[in-house]
Structure 1
Amino acid sequence: MDKRRLGNSDMEITPIGFGAWAIGGGDWQFSWGPQDDQDSIAAIHKALDIGVNWIDTAAVYGLGHSEEVVARALKETSHKPYVFTKCGLVWNEEREVLNDLKQIRREVEDSLRRLQVEAIDLYQIHWPKPDEDAEEAWGVMADLRKEGKVRWIGVSNFNVSQMERAMKIAPITSNQPPYSMLNRSVEDEILPFCEKNGIGTISYAPMHSGLLTGAMTKERVANFPEDDFRRRAKNYQEPLLSRNLGVAEFIGEIGRRHGVSAGVVAIAWVLHHSAITGAIVGGRSAKQVEGISPAASFRLPEEEFQEIQTYLAEHVS
């Protein structure tokens, strides 16, 4: 599998990484519903077996549970992927998720313990909230790198102004924004800024949380578990739901020309942008990972990329 250098780091990462959000399980504010840990471990192992060399998780996923499952999976394999995680979202005894950039030192120790690693390969501020604490938080991140607790430091969901402020304190290895055919807000300013300044970009939700996999239907959406955050997401509600499933159907037709799924085409579209170093691809079972595995190597021919661009211009505002 091809690899790309991530920003100013020494890490050469594969075009897709394993996203560990959903494997945090249910019963928390941004869950994807119930999840079997053994299925999660099998999914991670399948991703590593096909050559994926990085895993992206966060302390808040499952309120610590995702990091614990990643650790369990890595104890049962000889593969040694890079492990990325995030800080800045904490929770209280009532399991409420809160933005807090004042507890990063405690958070890193908790993540190191849950992940069972001596150092985190890439430590990222999950959200720059509250904004007035961002500089102080980035200074702590830089200190953690000097102390050897983390190898590289990155940001997630930062805008250009926030990245400029952070760069005055310490270099940014990477930014992690959402990017998909259904969410292109980073194209005008954020992706060009990252590319110009040598900041790697690992995008999340390239299939827009399952909408562009080709396997999503209105029936599946109607039957989401009560604790699946997507029940409340605007893109899973009408009139956007029908529009989005139409996009999935269209890219599925392109995928059939090459024997790949709509989801693989959606990921290839994201990777077509020159600023994108890698795309985070979630998987809840080995079968799901197997189905999306062609995304590691499939690339869109230019004429079909332009065909998609024309469709999006006409159908997605």
Structure 2
Amino acid sequence: MKRQLGTSELQVSPLTLGTFAIGGLMWGGNDKKDSIEAIRESIAHGVTSIDTAPFYGVGLSEEVIGEAIKGTDRSKVEILTKFGLVWEQDVKGTVAFDAQIDGKTVPIYKNGRKENVIREVENSLRRLQTDYIDLIQLHWPDVETPVSETMEAMEQLLKSGKVRAIGVSNYDRALLEEGLQTAQIHSDQVSYSMLNRSIEEELLPFAMEKNVGIIAYSPLERGLLTGKYSNGTGTLSSDDHRNGYFQQFDPQKLNTLLQALNDLASAKQCSVAQLVLVWTMNQKGITTVLGGARNAEQAIHNAQALHVQLSDSELNQIRSFIQN
């Protein structure tokens, strides 16, 4: 069932556990016990790939993952982490945005410099309590650092055995093409959902041509495509960034789409969220899809999507829903 990531030897599960919410930062926090159970149940139900980043909870997400996978067969779990968003005030770069950390407004820097790449990977290895990372990814492009410098740093890590595959995140076609001139990039992690299919125009065809795996994040649009937040049943804490994020979508069009998806999901005896994940996993060029989970129940629910089958006609039917 696992899929090869680009030209690397790394095999990942079609569905990957996303751990931004587990880190808590910008997502309203999460209970540590629930987080650990979510990770362990994901692995137990076939979602063996886990995506994280140092920025997710300023190290917390990686630490929780490290604790959760203790005692498991490390060769059966794929850890995907990142570098390049720095909060430590003695390590600077290009200011990306401000974040609230421990009640204080702290600038977050983009930094793709070689010395920072090496530094962050060493810190991630320590937090994750492992001696290698399956996939290391540049979190966001850093315009002040030459693309070649960042690629060369990842190539060095690959040759040293500290990482098994190298990737980027949020790279458009032009940046990906430039990066490929220096290193054999194995993946690009980008936003992709039924409501956001812009990568289909240029990036996705180019990635397929160059055999670069696409890791799709936000397939559920941060929970919006579950239907939970369109019918009034979902509540968000005041510090949850989705309060503003959801406002960009047309409520009427969203509700029409969700109703159509709900009808098909009922016929398939699955949830709308599972249907959305399955559709996304089955799109050409998509290697794996991120699905977040805060607790065991959500993790198991997401993993059950691996067993939902969609015919070609049903996949095309869904595409007709989202193009209306």
Deviation string 1:30-54 (CA, Å, 9 cap, x unpaired) is x211200100111111111111221
The answer to whether structure 1 residue 161 and structure 2 residue 196 are counterparts is no
Letter of the 2:17 counterpart: F
1:223-277 Cα distance to aligned partner (Å, 9 max, x none): 41122111121xx126624432432332121111011011111112212212011
Residue 257 of structure 1 corresponds to which residue in structure 2? 267
CA 245–96 in structure 1, closer or farther in 2 if over 3 Å, else same: farther
Of 169-178 and 212-221, more deviation after overlay is shown by: 212-221
Give 3-state SS (helix, strand or coil) of 1:170's partner.
coil
- The alpha carbon displacement at 1:218 in A equals 5.1
* Map 1:1-317 → 2, pairs under 5 A: 2-25=1-24, 28=25, 31-78=26-73, 80-92=76-88, 95-102=106-113, 103-130=116-143, 132-217=145-230, 219-220=232-233, 223-233=235-245, 236-237=246-247, 240-314=250-324
The 1-side partners of 2:249 and 2:289 are apart by 28
Corresponding residue SS for 1:215:
coil
Q: What is the aligned-residue identity percentage?
A: 37
CA change 1:229–1:309 in 2 (3 A) is same
- For residues 249 and 191 of structure 2, the distance between their equivalents in structure 1, rounded to whole angstroms, comes to 22
Root-mean-square deviation (CA), in Å?
A: 1.8
Between stretches 85-94 and 153-162, larger displacement belongs to 85-94
| Residues 72, 123 of structure 1: alpha-carbon distance in 2 compared, 3 angstrom cutoff | same
Q: Is the 8 A contact 1:121 1:151 kept in 2?
A: yes
What letter corresponds to residue 100 of structure 1 in structure 2? N
Q: Can you list the C-alpha shifts for 1:55-87, whole angstroms capped at 9, x where unaligned?
A: 111111011110001001001545630111001
1:238 to 1:165, Cα distance in 2 relative to 1, 3 A: closer
How far residue 209 of structure 1 moved from its aligned partner, in angstroms, is 0.8
- SS of the residue 2:134 aligns to: strand
Normalized per residue, which structure has more strand? 2
Partners of 1:252 and 1:297 in 2: how far apart? 18
The CA deviation at 1:282 is: 0.8
Return the alpha-carbon distance in structure 2 between the equivalents of residues 220 and 134 of structure 1. 45
1:78 to 1:142, Cα distance in 2 relative to 1, 3 A: closer
TM-score with structure 2 setting the length = 0.89
TM-aligned CA distance change 1:34 to 1:242, over 3 Å:
farther
Aligned partner of residue 155 in structure 1, secondary structure? strand
How far off is 1:151 after superposition? Answer: 1.5
- CA separation of 1:288/1:109 partners in 2, compared to 1, >3 Å: closer, same or farther? same
Task: Report the TM-score, using the length of structure 1 for normalisation.
Answer: 0.91
Check 1:78–1:140 CA distance in 2 against 1; reply closer, same or farther (3 A cut): closer
Moved over 6 A (4+): none
- 1:124 touches 1:156 (CA, 8 Å); kept in 2? yes
Change in Cα spacing, 1:126 to 1:16, as seen in structure 2 (3 Å) is same
The AA in structure 2 aligned to 1:60 is F
**Aligned letter for 1:86?**
K
- Within 1, Cα distance between the matches of 2:223 and 2:285? 23
Please state how far the C-alpha of 1:92 moved relative to its aligned partner: 3.5
Letter matched to residue 138 of structure 1: M
SS in structure 1 at match of 2:222: coil
Cα pair 1:16 1:280 within 8 Å, conserved: yes
- Name the SS for the 1:278 alignment partner: strand
Residues 86-118 of structure 1 show CA distances to partners (whole Å, capped at 9, x for unaligned) of 011111355432212122121111111111111
* Structure-1 separation of matches of 2:281 and 2:253: 23
Aligned equivalents of 1:177, 1:164: Cα separation in 2: 15
What stretches of structure 2 of length at least 5 have no aligned partner?
90-104
Count how many residue pairs are aligned between Structure 1 and Structure 2: 306
